[in-house]
Structure 1
Amino acid sequence: MADTPESLSEEFSTFSTYTKTPAQALDLIERARTKCPVPHSKELGGFHIYMNYEDVRRGLMDWKTYANGPSVLRPYIEGSPVFPPLSMDPPEHTPWRKVFSDGVNIRTADRIGPAVRADAIELIEGFAEKGACDLHLDLAEQVPMKAIFHILGLPREHHERVRSMTLNVLAHVNQPEQFAKLFQEFSEYGWSEVERRKSDPKEDYLTVLADARFGDRHMTPFEVGAAVVSLLVAGHGTTTAALTNLLYEVLRRPQLKQRLIEDPALIPKAVEEGLRLHHPFFGLFRKATEDVEAHGAHIKKGDTVYMCWQAANRDPAVVDKPLDFDIDRPEFQHLGFGLGKHSCVGAPTARMEMRVVMEELLARLPDIELAEPEKVKWDFHGAETLGILHLPAKFASRPRRAS
């Protein structure tokens, strides 16, 4: 039976990342792009869906019409955590954005790059003798969190404690009471480290927090905790997913892998193509601040609009053969790091992490291949995140090399 605007609208009425698999969601979007370009779902309190590139791009740029606050997640529950500056709009967003951009910017990648490379080497050499690994758990999940610890300036002996706290906090984001308790613990730890920086400043994010001022006052312990947790939320799971996805796409293509081994200068192109094809967030929500009409759909002030980044980056109207992983495609402004006032301040650092891991993995284990590529699957993991949780790989066992 042919798809009609009516039948597609009916399918979309139950759409969300909690009710569909990634494959089901993407199939529905591709069938609906032209016939039902701005559908509506009754799930999660109800929301309209932008999925074509120009619609999502316009929505991301126009923060006055499409507000991030009070949250970019749905359903929004009073008392749920607010992650600055992502879930804020000007003027509240402005001082928070400065705090983040002072601590994470284009210079950060150069500052922590050597430490990230050392981490990648240590992890790779740690499983090189085994002849097998899980690239998600043993590599991609660990490098971004260690990178954030370097950004913060945490002493190495604190890494495992903070890693445990981080994973615990993130696991309870949708449970306000438990989250508040765990967040308090995080805030107390962060505040103690910030207090140390006031008398012993360093070139790190904790020193930025120690010096930061909102008007005529310093940050409170709660605000310090929010800044640290937001950095971990924004920089860990997203980069982990993007890195795992990149490893999957490269390693399942032997000819491409060999090209990158022979010419590592091509790796940044692979990074960009990975970010285009597989967005770590399937999408995030915005709130309309005025009545809007889009492709005949009437969006009222106060309505929720879902900006589907994953769909936008695969729009055939702006990308030729959008489902192909092609590092030779013309340069394209994908939406992997957002746009406008809410664009990701950590983009250069995330790109560096992905490049460095790929460089070291291919240089040290050039024969690496996926163990069971046909069994790899993407899943939604709550909070609009999308990724691979297991990526087994195999290679010839070899003695540990010196770094």
Structure 2
Amino acid sequence: MNAISQPNAPMGSGPVMPADMAQKLATPAVYATEELHDIYRWLRTNMPVARAEPEGFDPFWVVTRHADILAVSKNNAMFPSGDRATTFVNAAHVRRNHQITGCPHLVKSLVTMDGPEHRQYRGLTQGQFMPGKLRERAPAIHALAEEVVATMASLGGECDFAVDVSMPYPLRVVMEILGVPPEDYAQMLRLTQEMFGPQDPDTAKAMAALDASQYSAIVQGAVDGLTTYFSAISNDRRANPRDDLATLIANAVINGEPIGTAEEVGYYIIVATAGHDTTSSSISGIMWALATQPGLLDRVRADPALLPALVEEGIRWATPVKTFMRSAAEDAEIGGQPVGKGDWIMLAYASGNRDEAVFEDPFAFSIDRKPNPQLAFGFGAHTCLGQHMARLEMQALFEAMLPRLESVELNGEPEFIQSVFVNGLKRLPIRFRMR
């Protein structure tokens, strides 16, 4: 990496990474560039568990090696999700959340729950995302994939794949499973973007100039809007149950009692938001590889048995969730580095998925990785609930597309979302020929 300063003198609690590097890891724009991986590579080699102290943020540990990320992920009792913010936000944002909800979290959902509570709430819908239930859903998902491919074929040989295909397809899948009517998709997208305060300037322009009180008012308005919307959905599903996820959530019972409003709305929100941006990023990553890697399209089109490997490598290469935060329940060690009780910890999944100790030629997109122990879905108690559905969606789309796709190439410069949390291609202009 170029022009990296030497580490500051170690603090009592451990080594502190260079100040310029720490500030970059707190800067969303860096996550849209290759500089992020330069930083991660340096950290894996020199300071694999390092303390960061960027201006405006609480100090935190950055964990960059695959083995250490895996170890923390598997030990949810020692490194819980609920005690501190689970996404990387500045100190002012944490204060706003406390003002709105009285805790570090804007929404109470599966990602902020631990222990028995997490297991109980996860169990409410887990069966809906397991392979057996997904086999029932597969025909509808395949039909939707065929429809999306037909729409792509009608675009005249040019499109922005990220905008025209990657985003609308998984959004439609998850909204249909949830039970949100098509006319409300745009509203759901807007409200969730406002609630999470997107960091990318293309989606945050209207919020960038707001002061803390104005920002909090918009966020609170989004939470109120989602609560109102999903309360109406729940009331309807209690009176008129259907075969959808909303009916399960609306009628959910734990320990003999209906779940609370906060937990109910949090469940809707996590399903509505987690199921589309992440899958979209992986789909775009696969198309980027098909458009830029000579011979890859011909190879997978000739041998459909390679599709699962294509999907898995697309997930590793994209790593849509770049970071997640944990904290230490007690004094502990990560990779031999002591961390203190209450310390905030960043798991850098994008670094773990480029770890040279685990992946040969980690920056290449290769469908020949066997095994491919990618970390993108997490591990342990908080493993992504929708991982099997995501794989099904991606495989269905490319099963429908590849037999018709004769050629594809870039038709402009790809652009990445600027975000420390969920990040992927936001623009992927391509030129293609289809049968």
**TM-score between both structures, scaled by the size of structure 1:** 0.90
Structure 2 gap ranges (5+): 9-15, 198-214
CA–CA separation in structure 2 for the residues paired with 1:242 and 1:356: 13
Task: Give the letter for the 1:394 counterpart.
Answer: R
Establish whether residue 208 from structure 1 lines up as the match of residue 248 from structure 2: yes
CA–CA separation in structure 1 for the residues paired with 2:118 and 2:110: 5
Match of 2:71 in 1: 58
Please state how far the C-alpha of 1:171 moved relative to its aligned partner. Answer: 2.8
CA–CA separation in structure 1 for the residues paired with 2:216 and 2:139: 38
Cα distance change of structure 1 residues 4 and 391 upon mapping to structure 2, 3 Å threshold: closer
Residue of 145, 148, 160 corresponding to 1:123:
148
| Pairs aligned (count) | 392
Give secondary structure in 2 for the equivalent of 1:67.
coil
Higher mean displacement: 13-22 or 278-287: 13-22
Cα distance change of structure 1 residues 103 and 166 upon mapping to structure 2, 3 Å threshold: farther
CA–CA separation in structure 1 for the residues paired with 2:216 and 2:382: 25
Task: Give the letter for the 2:67 counterpart.
Answer: E
Please state how far the C-alpha of 1:242 moved relative to its aligned partner. Answer: 1.3
Match of 1:23 in 2: 34
Cα distance change of structure 1 residues 222 and 298 upon mapping to structure 2, 3 Å threshold: closer
**TM-score between both structures, scaled by the size of structure 2:** 0.83
CA–CA separation in structure 1 for the residues paired with 2:336 and 2:302: 51
Contact (CA 8 Å) 1:261, 1:366: kept in 2 or not? no
- Kindly report which structure 2 residues correspond to 1:366-385, keeping only aligned pairs within 5 A, or say none: 366-372=406-412, 375-382=413-420, 384-385=421-422
- Kindly report which structure 2 residues correspond to 1:346-365, keeping only aligned pairs within 5 A, or say none: 346-365=386-405
- Kindly report which structure 2 residues correspond to 1:1-400, keeping only aligned pairs within 5 A, or say none: 6=7, 9-10=17-18, 11-18=20-27, 20-21=30-31, 22-43=33-54, 44-69=57-82, 70-75=84-89, 76-77=94-95, 78=98, 79=100, 80-129=105-154, 130-154=156-180, 158-174=181-197, 175-295=215-335, 297-372=337-412, 375-382=413-420, 384-396=421-433
- Aligned-residue Cα RMSD (Å) equals 2.3
CA–CA separation in structure 2 for the residues paired with 1:290 and 1:385: 28
CA–CA separation in structure 2 for the residues paired with 1:191 and 1:9: 46
Higher mean displacement: 27-36 or 341-350: 27-36
CA–CA separation in structure 1 for the residues paired with 2:177 and 2:132: 11
Contact (CA 8 Å) 1:4, 1:35: kept in 2 or not? no
CA–CA separation in structure 2 for the residues paired with 1:222 and 1:137: 32
Using the aligned pairs only, state the percent identity. 26
Contact (CA 8 Å) 1:67, 1:289: kept in 2 or not? yes
Structure 1 gap ranges (5+): 399-403
CA–CA separation in structure 2 for the residues paired with 1:182 and 1:116: 30
Cα distance change of structure 1 residues 225 and 296 upon mapping to structure 2, 3 Å threshold: closer
Please state how far the C-alpha of 1:109 moved relative to its aligned partner. Answer: 2.7
Please state how far the C-alpha of 1:132 moved relative to its aligned partner. Answer: 1.1
CA–CA separation in structure 1 for the residues paired with 2:189 and 2:111: 18
Higher mean displacement: 334-343 or 74-83: 74-83
CA–CA separation in structure 2 for the residues paired with 1:32 and 1:153: 44
Contact (CA 8 Å) 1:50, 1:305: kept in 2 or not? yes
Q: Deviations over 1:226-270 (max 9, x none)?
A: 211111221111111111112111221241111111112211101
Cα distance change of structure 1 residues 4 and 173 upon mapping to structure 2, 3 Å threshold: closer
Q: Deviations over 1:242-299 (max 9, x none)?
A: 1111211122124111111111221110111111122101111111111123455432
Please state how far the C-alpha of 1:150 moved relative to its aligned partner. Answer: 2.1
CA–CA separation in structure 2 for the residues paired with 1:392 and 1:12: 32
Give secondary structure in 1 for the equivalent of 2:373.
coil
Match of 1:401 in 2: none
Higher mean displacement: 386-395 or 178-187: 178-187
CA–CA separation in structure 2 for the residues paired with 1:379 and 1:161: 24
Higher mean displacement: 41-50 or 116-125: 116-125
Task: Give the letter for the 1:161 counterpart.
Answer: D
Give secondary structure in 2 for the equivalent of 1:40.
strand
Task: Give the letter for the 2:320 counterpart.
Answer: P
Cα distance change of structure 1 residues 2 and 196 upon mapping to structure 2, 3 Å threshold: closer
Cα distance change of structure 1 residues 17 and 221 upon mapping to structure 2, 3 Å threshold: same
Contact (CA 8 Å) 1:166, 1:229: kept in 2 or not? no
CA–CA separation in structure 2 for the residues paired with 1:56 and 1:397: 42
Please state how far the C-alpha of 1:340 moved relative to its aligned partner. Answer: 0.8
CA–CA separation in structure 2 for the residues paired with 1:245 and 1:278: 6
Contact (CA 8 Å) 1:120, 1:139: kept in 2 or not? no
Give secondary structure in 2 for the equivalent of 1:133.
strand
CA–CA separation in structure 2 for the residues paired with 1:64 and 1:35: 28
